[in-house]
Every structure is written in C-alpha cells, then in structure tokens.
A and B are shown apart, each in its own frame.
Chain A
Amino acid sequence: MEYFIQQFINGVTLGAIFGLIAIGYTMVYGILGMVNFAHGDIFMIGGFISIITFMILGVLGVTWLPFSLLCMLLIAMAFTGLHGWAVERIGYRALRNSNRLAPLISAIGVSIFLQNYVQLLQGARNKPLSPIIFGGIELMTSSTGFTVTFAYMQMVIIGVATVLMAGFSVLIARTALGRQQRACEQDMKMARLLGVDVDRTIALTFIMGAALAAVAGLIWLLRYGIIDFYVGFLVGIKAFTAAVIGGIGSLPGAMLGGLLIGLIEVFWSAYFSVEYKDVAAFAILVLVLIFRPTGLLGKPDIEKV
C-alpha cells in the first residue's frame, strides 16, 4: 500500500510534465489539424535554456532559490516561446492550406533540425544539473520500513503545473484571445471574415504551447537532473499519446491524458518491467488510435466530402 502511494505520487509528478507538453499538441491540432512533431524538441530546448539560465544566474551570484527558480521559469518560457513562434513562421505557415501530409513532413524536418542544431551548439553529451530542491515530507512508514516521501521538489512541480493549467484554462475560457482561438478552431475562414487576426492567433497558440513545454522542460531538468538533445523525441511521443488518449483537440483531455500516461508509465515500471516501459507507452498509443481515435473527451471527427 505504501509502495502504491509512493508510486502514485511519482506518477502524478510525471503526469504533470506530460500534461504540460500535451496541451501544446492538442491546441495546435485543434486549430490547424496537424501533428506538431517538433513539439517534443521545443520541450528539449526549454530544458536547455533552463539549464543555461541557471548557470548564468550562478555566474551572476544569484543564490536565493525561489528567485532563481522564478527567473529560470520566466526566461525559459519567453525564449522557448520565441522558438515556437519561429518554428511556426518558418516551417508551417506557408503550408497551412497544403495537403495533409506536407505539414507533418515539414514538422519532422524541423524536429531533426532542432535536435542537430542543439547537438552541434551544445554538444552531444548529457547535461547534468545537481539537485537544487532538497527534502520532503514523510507521509507514512509501513511496517517493513518503507517510507512514503512527498518531496518538496514534487510539490513544487505539481503546484506549478496545476497553477499554469488552471490559469491557462481561464485564458482559453474567458479572455478575448481564448475566444479568438476557439473561433479559429471551429471555422478559420469564418473567424477571418469576422475580423479575427488568424495569423496572430495561430502564432500566439504556438508561443503559448512552447512556453508550457518550456515549463515542462524546466520541471524535467529539476526532477531528473539531466537533459540531452535527444530527450524530446521519446517524451514528445509520450505527450502526444497523452493528448490522443484525452481526445486530441480537448484541453482538459490533454491534462487528463498526461496524468494517465504518467501513472501508467510509473506503475508499469514499478510492477512489471522497466525495460518495456517505453514499449507499453507505444502500445497504448497504438491501441488508443485503433480503438478509440477520438480519445476519452474528444469529439468524433466527421469527414465531409
């Protein structure tokens, strides 16, 4: 039981990361109907910018942890958002009215480009970051001596993710920008006729998705203390799986899906086999796409002729 609770906490932490990335996939898919294959690499860039910011802060002599964490968060969000904007502007905008496969192939190209860009600029080896948030609360101890710990790190992660997701839901539901986004999602041509600046809305969607992915990158760095140029591929696919499970195009679905994927991965590793945990993630992706392509909360996609 204690072991189960510990794994549950770990799973929710991992799920927060996947959920933050999945939002980016689901928003872009909702508006443009394309799989932004490079989104995982945007997450990776967010992690790299975080670690570089941390080191710059170290050089500048900033030692107060809350302040430096906030700096990392804001700087990573801003600069990664810029990368997201650039990717959309260069890689996807021209292909908006093209056939279905062209944007996907372009996105694969962007993904390969970004991976190798970071590899060339920052080196191929793992970038380690020693833990900066220590300690935790011991929730309970079993008779066998197994202690359930809710680390402060995990609290910060779950807290930041919850706040961001809540804020983001409000942004989509209440603000003018959110309304414009939903309008574009439903009917881009009509939204344009009614005076919505579609290009700007899509650009902002990419920026927001990238900023959330940057937060996920920062969290990943804090939690696992390591990042490399290739990490975005696998994490990106798992987050995409999360978006699909939740129902692609649906925001609450993305968060729910992220949570599910995080829990499944952690429990699978804990109770079955660590070696096959990625196989499990891919198998879930395949099974969901085959048997319930609309996901848990998604609307069926009716093809019109």
Chain B
Amino acid sequence: MLKDAGMMALASLALAMPLVGFQTVDRGAGIVLDTRFGAMFYAVAVIFVGRLLLLLIEAGHASLIQAATVALSAAWLINVAFHLYPITWPALGWLTWIVASVLAIRAWIVQRRATRPAAGYTDGVEKLGALVARIGPYLGGIAVAFAFTMPFMPFADQRMVDLGILVLTYIMLGWGLNVVVGLAGLLDLGYVAFYAVGAYSYAILSIHFDLNFWQTLPLAGAMAALFGVLLGFPVLRLRGDYLAIVTLGFGEMIRLILLNWDDLTNGPKGIGSIPRPSFFGMQFTAAPREGVTAFHEFFNLDFAPIHRIIHLYYIILFLALLTNWFTLRIRKMPIGRAWEALREDETACRALGINPTNTKLTAFAIGAMFGGFAGSFFATRQGFISPESFNFIESAIILAIVVLGGMGSQIGVVVASILLIGGPEWFRDLEAYRMLAFGGLMVAIMIWRPQGLLSHREPTIKLGPSPGARSA
C-alpha cells in the first residue's frame, strides 16, 4: 500500500518538477528563473496522502475517511465563500479540495456498494437522467417561467440581467450545436465560424445597408446556413474524427480570413458602432434623434439604461426558446428521426434508403443558422466585433457545454451553461482557473460517462406496445 502510494508520489514529483518546481519569471525583455519547491512538495504530498487514503477506503476504512474529507472540503469552501482566512496559494487549496472531494465521493460509493450491492453509482446517475427526461416538460416550464420573470425580480440588477444575457447566449449556441453534435452525431469543432459569419453579416449589413435588427437577423441566419451548406457539402462524407478536424480547420480559416480581409472586415481592429436593436422603432437613448420616439417617452417612464438591457434579454430569450422549440419539433419529424438514426448506425440508415449526405447537410445548415442568429445577437449586444472573439476556445466552450450537459439533452445544455458560464462570472476569484477546470471536466466526464451527464437515451419511437401484442 505504501509502495503503491510512493510510486504515485514519485511519478507526480517527476511530473511536477520541471513545470511546477521551476518558474520562468518575466523580467524586462528577458526571463529569469525562480523556484517553487515548497508548492511542488506540498502538491506531491497531497497526492501521496490522497492515494494512501484511497487505498485505505478500498480496504474498508471508508466511514472515517469520508467524515474527515467531507469536513475538509466543506471547511475550504466556507473559507473561500466568506474570506475568513487569507489564502496565499489558492491553486494548492483547490488541489487539496479536489482530492478531498474525490475521496469523499469514492468513500460514499464504497459504502453504498457495501449496503446495496446491486445498485452501482452509475446506475443512480442513469436514474437521474431518466428522471430529468420524464419531468423535463415541467422543469422546462418552471425554467421558462423563471426566465421570463427574472428581470423583474427584486434581486435583478444590471449585472444580473447582463449575466442572464450571457448565459442565454451560450444556451442558444449550445442548443444550436446540439442539433449537429447531439442529434446528428457530427462532431463540429468549428461551430464558432458560423457564429462569426452571423456576427459579421449582421454588422456589415446593418451598417452599409441601414437595415434594422429584425430585418438583418434572417439574412444573417441565412448567410450562416449558406456557409454551413458550402462547408458541409464536401466534408460530410468523412468519418467522425476526420470531420471534426476538418471543421476545426474551417473554423480557423474563417477567423484568419476575417483577420486579414481588411477591406471588408476592418481586420484585427474589428467593426465598431454596430446599431442597437429598437423596440418597434423606439430607441433606447436618453435623447433620441429628431422624429424618433424613445422607449421611455412612449411608456412614460424615467430614462434608465437597464431598459435597453432588459430588451436585449428578452430578444435572446426569444431566440433561444425559438431554437429549443424548433429542435423539439423537428425531432419528431422524419428528418429529425433520420438524424438520430444516422447517429446510431450510418450503415443501417444507408441500407434503409436514407441519404446520409443530405440528412447531415440539413443538420449542419440548421445548426449553422442558429449559430448565425446567436452571432447577430452578439454583434448587436456588444456593438463591436473583432476576430478575437471567434477563436477555437470559443468553439471548445460551446462543445464543452453540449458534451457536459449530455449530448442530445436540451435541459443538460441549460444546466451546463449555467454552471460553466454563470458560475465563473459569479465567482470572480476562480476566473483564472476557468479554462483549466473546463479541460479537466471534459476529460473527467468523458471517462466517467462518455455519453454526457444528463444524457438519457431512449428510443424516440417504439413499434407496438409489446412483443406479445404484435404477434396477435
């Protein structure tokens, strides 16, 4: 037992030695070397003790260790939440917290397995997925009701509504990508390209042709869908992982073209002063132009900047719900069924007369269209866009939302967006670790549940009530 833990500690020491133990510090134009042996040894010690405790748990000392680790992780969380104790090395604290939490969960699983041998832990999550799928409509209703009333709740200040807009944007992107990844089973690593096409189409059309938001939105969506078809047509016969890499290549190509095509996109400087959407022609400004009614004048309100933000909030809520409604409806149509069938077994689909290329192409185009809508919204909300906003990391975040939520699960996307986008915005201290945690979570979820957290797969359609009835 000691030997096992020792080997693990030795391996982690060797891993931590170059990158944790030594630090290159920027000084002037050059760099100098600094050491962090304290942090390195602490990290290795945590891993050693953690491994030892894990082995002890397996050997039957679960309850005591569970109590200790639960207490430790809770104490750390309380400390972070209320700033009780000054923290000098937050990264090491979080490492300890992660190790303690993993141990606590492990101990719980071991104890559960001892009392109820038949019910594994995965089984429990499976049940949760099934439960969510069953109560989905009610849960969705409550969520929608909350989303509609949120801006008027007492706690909803400007920051809160802004955060709501951000989360809803990602929910919409996640739902759009879910059509491609979750339903049709095509791994698209360049989804942000369509987001970019939508945003730039919106910016260019609205500035040069003086169209308003609701006129430009369908055009931008159509443009993105067109790009989806153009990009998708040659590549969709490729196998899953090749397709993923090709879409990644397209995503980067679009970004690089936006970066270098100065005449159209203004290059790295980006496009600014993109028109804001108006409410039936009414503007959200304190002093509107001659002949234009301002929103607050029409409704006899005092001018407040939050009106504009609440308006944006409802626009994105509407767009997101449109995406969701569309997806839910199309799942029940032949094309939606064909997507899911194609995801499960392409060869069988081909044998049954489904044209895989056309079917995939529709999924790609529809996903791209929603990406384009979200892009338009992003452009109008920010008022400024540049190629910076559309890099691969953005694609990876959207993919992470879909994957973590459970591919194909609409509610999963909502939960994942709130956790991944809302969480770090709320806990500003964790901002630096956000992408680190993203990566780690993607790996952990894939290993633990390759189909995603809240994914519960059940045939969408069944033949006959039971085998007995069919034979009659």
- Interface of A toward B, CB cutoff 8 Å: 34-35, 45, 48-49, 51-53, 55-56, 58-59, 75, 79, 82-83, 86, 90-91, 94-95, 98-106, 108-118, 120-123, 125, 127-128, 130, 233, 237, 240, 275-276, 278-279, 282-283, 285-286, 289-290, 293, 303, 305
Contact = CB atoms under 8 A, between A and B. Distances in A.
B19 A49 contact: yes
A59 B33 contact: yes
B249 interface: yes
A116 B439 contact: yes
B442 interface: yes
A104 B244 contact: yes
Interface string B399-418: 11001000000000000000
Contact of A279 (B29, B257, B392, B440): B257
Contacts of A282: 249-250, 252-253, 256
B443 A286 contact: no
B392 A118 contact: no
Those 7 A-B pairs whose CB atoms lie nearest each other, nearest first: A109-B442, A113-B439, A112-B439, A102-B450, A106-B446, A109-B443, A282-B249
B279 interface: no
A102 B451 CA distance: 8
Given A112-B393, A128-B29, A279 B256 contact: yes
Main secondary structure of the interface of B (DSSP, over half): helix
Interface stretch (B129-137, B166-174, B233-241, B328-336): B233-241
Interface stretch (B110-118, B146-154, B206-214, B430-438): B430-438
Contacts of B33: 52, 55-56, 58-59
A286 B240 CA distance: 14
Contact of B435 (A55, A94, A112): A112
Contacts of B257: 279
A105 B393 contact: no
Interface string B1-22: 0000000000100110111101
B30 interface: yes
A83 B239 CA distance: 29
A256 to B, nearest CB: 19
B446 A105 contact: yes
A95 B446 contact: yes
B31 interface: yes
A116 B15 CA distance: 16
B450 A98 contact: yes
A293 B435 CA distance: 33
A305 B347 contact: yes
Most chain B CB within 10 A, of A35, A82, A282, is at A282
A240 B22 CA distance: 30
Contacts of B256: 275-276, 278-279, 282
Interface in B229-261: 234-235, 238-242, 244-246, 248-250, 252-253, 256-257, 259-260
Nearest to B434: A116
Given A123-B25, A128-B30, A290-B246, A109 B441 contact: yes
A171 to B, nearest CB: 23
6 contacts: A105-B399, A109-B443, A118-B19, A121-B19, A121-B23, A293-B242
A35 B245 contact: yes
